[in-house]
């Protein structure tokens, strides 16, 4: 008999607002369990502020202190989270047997069958933010997007093909399909002309895989593999340090990581350790209020021995530094006369990637008021590593300025990494404000968002000149005033309200 499910996963809610909820998992151990649990926590919009994990190789005990991302009060479906965590935990072996015996007999860690694939076909009229609105509905329904093909016709109609799987495994039923169609219709309204859900055949998926390959120049830009030999590197978010020590334990190698926090940091670390076939016996994670994180991992190789080989130590430290510094790759490239956004998401050995990437990309572009003309998702292998590559084509009639290109890349990157960005409601500006001035102003606002902690609407006052420069801009937030100096001739004053979007 196994232990009761209530004892396998326990969720203890905070006593006061703003304090973390404690999630405790106690179950038989399996390879990559910590990575899988962190992935589900990330999927449910939670940030890990503290964590402890330990295992003797047979039984593991994991405690995670979690908060809604950004500290915002949101309704978290805790019961559903508990169910999803339970599904990841191995079944307790019967009395008289242990995990080692079951594994030797081939009765443990049997991979579940692949979920059934469905094709969702949508036809509707195009509008700003359409793709994100559809993606949001699918995420709320626990429908995972495996592949997507989006195209826009000259008359403004959109044909969206989503290859999806259902976490609840109910999409084959009539009620589940009708629920999905009703939710989509409530969001799209009268613009929706067709909504069909059918099982997808392998021939459909193989046709979707035939997409344009990445050029060598793009490969170099996105997947540059130049080694970072230094023990620590400096980044915009602070110093990243990864070290190994074999002197503190007779049986374990201590891996110490110090870095700035970002969305999914613990998942990125656990994913890397899992892919490198490193086993963690004890781990500790702590995120301070100033945005710095400290991670200590007592680890061994798959053979149970310490990591003593110098070459493997350097390779693992490099890999961890790269995954902490740049877990996802974002680039804006030219595709003939047009512009295309590329985002690469690393795929685990198990075939899974970071969740909600497409959701974050489309949300960032919606905030920027950028229309998506074409979109597709495919898999790409680079030096024995598999990546899930998202390609979004804007279909602009004119070339984007360098300032706007930087703004798009920064906004998408910030959304994916959980950093705050500021978005301006440009309709409140005087008609004399030119696109050049808007780009210049937005760049300063993006810079200001990295210097202040913003999660509420703020006010920005600036005196702007016709050449796109301005004097003494002032940013008010939470009663604090931040200023930075510039100098040019003043022409007129602009006063606008900002819509500040916190995406932590």
CATH 3.40.1020, the chain: domain bounds: 9-91+240-325
pLDDT band at 493 (very low <50, low <70, confident <90, very high): very low
pLDDT band at 452 (very low <50, low <70, confident <90, very high): very low
- Architecture of domain 9-91+240-325 in this structure: 3-Layer(aba) Sandwich (3.40)
Contact yes or no for 48/285 (Cβ under 8 A): yes
Range with the poorest average pLDDT among 122-136, 194-208, 327-341 = 194-208
d(CA 472, CA 488): 10
pLDDT band at 3 (very low <50, low <70, confident <90, very high): low
More confident position, 231 or 475: 231
pLDDT at 65: 97
More confident position, 481 or 18: 18
Nearest to 461 by CA among 471, 447, 451: 471
Distance of CA 231 to the CA centre of its chain: 26
Any idea of the CA torsion for 257, 258, 264, 267, to the nearest 10 degrees? 10
Distance of CA 377 to the CA centre of its chain: 15
- Each residue's pLDDT tens digit, 187-239: 999 889 999 999 987 676 665 555 567 777 777 777 775 544 455 565 655 78
In what order do the strands lie in the sheet containing 9-12?
Answer: 9-12, 21-28, 59-68, 46-55, 278-287, 292-301, 253-260, 238-245, 232-235
d(CA 462, CA 138): 41
d(CA 137, CA 359): 10
What value does the mean pLDDT take over residues 235-246?
A: 83
- Each residue's pLDDT tens digit, 77-99: 999 999 999 999 997 655 545 55
Helix locations, 189-305, DSSP H: 202-208, 216-222, 265-275
Contact yes or no for 362/372 (Cβ under 8 A): yes
Q: What would the CATH number be for the domain defined by 118-200?
A: 3.30.70.260
Q: Would the pLDDT of 504 be above 70?
A: no
d(CA 97, CA 151): 55
Q: What is the DSSP string of 426-477?
A: GGGS-TT--HHHHHHHHHHHHHHHHHS---S--EEEEEE-TTS-EEEEEEEE
pLDDT at 235: 61
Could you give the angle at the alpha carbon of 328 between the alpha carbons of 235 and 113, nearest 5°? 145
What value does the mean pLDDT take over residues 460-472?
A: 39
d(CA 401, CA 240): 32
- Each residue's pLDDT tens digit, 44-86: 999 999 999 999 989 999 999 999 986 555 688 999 999 999 9
Cβ atoms within 10 Å, residue 288: 11
Kindly report whether the global pTM for this prediction surpasses the value 0.85. no
Contact yes or no for 205/163 (Cβ under 8 A): yes
The full length of the chain comes to 504
d(CA 97, CA 452): 56
Nearest to 240 by CA among 342, 154, 336, 320: 320
Tokens of 411: 């906004």
d(CA 414, CA 263): 10
d(CA 430, CA 161): 41
Kindly list the distances between the CA atom of residue 317 and the CA atoms of 110, 251, 261, 272, in Å, as whole numbers in the listed order: 32, 19, 18, 10
Kindly list the distances between the CA atom of residue 37 and the CA atoms of 76, 302, 359, in Å, as whole numbers in the listed order: 16, 20, 20
d(CA 235, CA 450): 13
Is the four-CA dihedral 325, 246, 304, 227 of positive or negative sign? positive
Tokens of 362: 């489309």
What value does the mean pLDDT take over residues 291-320?
A: 94
pLDDT at 26: 96
What are the φ/ψ torsions at residue 18 (nearest 5 degrees)?
90, -10
Q: Would the pLDDT of 420 be above 90?
A: no
Distance of CA 379 to the CA centre of its chain: 17
Kindly list the distances between the CA atom of residue 388 and the CA atoms of 42, 450, 489, in Å, as whole numbers in the listed order: 18, 29, 49
Kindly list the distances between the CA atom of residue 376 and the CA atoms of 64, 163, 178, 223, 228, in Å, as whole numbers in the listed order: 35, 11, 26, 19, 32
Chain mean pLDDT for the chain? 79
More confident position, 262 or 458: 262
d(CA 354, CA 124): 29
Contact yes or no for 334/340 (Cβ under 8 A): yes
pLDDT at 93: 59
Q: Would the pLDDT of 467 be above 50?
A: no
What value does the mean pLDDT take over residues 385-410?
A: 84
> Could you identify the residue written with the tokens 């019961």?
79
More confident position, 496 or 207: 207
What are the φ/ψ torsions at residue 469 (nearest 5 degrees)?
-110, 160
CATH 3.30.70.260, the chain: domain bounds: 118-200
Nearest to 60 by CA among 29, 82, 35: 29
- Architecture of domain 328-421 in this structure: 2-Layer Sandwich (3.30)
As a whole-number percent, the residues of the chain with pLDDT over 90 amount to 49
């Amino acid at each position: 008999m196994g232990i009761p499910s209530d004892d396998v996963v326990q969720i203890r809610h905070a006593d006061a607002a703003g304090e973390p909820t404690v999630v405790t998992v106690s179950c038989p151990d399996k390879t990559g369990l910590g990575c899988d649990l962190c992935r589900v926590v990330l999927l449910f919009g939670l940030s890990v502020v503290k964590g402890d994990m330990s295992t003797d190789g047979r039984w593991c005990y994991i405690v995670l202190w979690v908060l809604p991302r950004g500290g915002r009060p949101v309704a978290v479906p805790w019961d559903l989270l508990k169910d999803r965590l339970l599904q990841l935990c191995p079944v307790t072996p019967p009395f008289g047997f242990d995990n080692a015996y079951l594994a030797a007999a081939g009765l443990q860690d049997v991979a579940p069958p692949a979920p059934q694939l469905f094709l969702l076909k949508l036809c509707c009229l195009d509008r700003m933010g359409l793709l994100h609105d559809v993606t949001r509905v699918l995420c709320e329904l626990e429908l995972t997007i495996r592949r997507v093909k989006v195209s826009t016709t000259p008359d403004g109609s959109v044909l969206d093909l989503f290859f999806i799987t259902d976490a609840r495994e109910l999409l084959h039923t009539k009620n589940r399909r009708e629920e999905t169609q009703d939710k989509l219709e409530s969001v799209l309204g009268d613009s929706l002309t067709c909504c069909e859900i059918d099982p997808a055949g392998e021939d459909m998926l193989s046709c979707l895989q035939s997409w344009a390959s990445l050029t060598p120049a793009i490969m170099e830009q996105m997947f540059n593999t130049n080694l970072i030999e230094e023990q620590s590197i400096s980044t915009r978010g602070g110093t990243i340090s990864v070290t190994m020590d074999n002197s503190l334990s007779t049986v374990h190698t201590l891996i110490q990581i110090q870095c700035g926090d970002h969305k999914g940091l613990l998942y990125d670390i656990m994913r890397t350790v899992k892919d490198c076939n490193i086993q963690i016996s004890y781990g500790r994670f702590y995120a301070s209020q100033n945005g710095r994180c400290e991670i200590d991992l007592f680890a061994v190789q798959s053979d149970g021995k310490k990591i003593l080989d110098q070459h493997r130590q350097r390779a693992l430290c490099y890999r961890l530094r790269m995954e902490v510094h740049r877990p996802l790759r974002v680039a804006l490239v030219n595709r003939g006369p047009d512009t295309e956004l590329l985002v690469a998401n690393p795929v685990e050995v198990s075939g899974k990637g970071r969740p909600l990437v497409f959701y974050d990309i489309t949300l960032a572009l919606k905030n920027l008021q950028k229309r998506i003309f074409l979109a597709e998702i495919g898999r790409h292998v680079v030096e024995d590593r598999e990546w899930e590559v998202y390609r979004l084509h804007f279909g602009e009639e004119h070339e984007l300025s360098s300032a706007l290109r930087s703004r798009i890349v920064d906004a998408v990157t910030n959304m994916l990494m959980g950093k705050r960005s500021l978005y301006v409601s440009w309709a409140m500006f005087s008609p004399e404000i030119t696109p050049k001035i808007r780009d210049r102003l937005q760049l300063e606002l993006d810079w200001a968002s990295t210097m202040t902690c913003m999660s509420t609407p703020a006010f920005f006052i600036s005196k702007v000149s016709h050449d796109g420069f301005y004097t003494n801009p002032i940013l008010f937030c939470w009663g604090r005033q931040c200023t930075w100096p510039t100098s040019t001739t003043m022409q007129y004053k602009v006063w606008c309200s900002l819509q500040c979007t916190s995406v932590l």
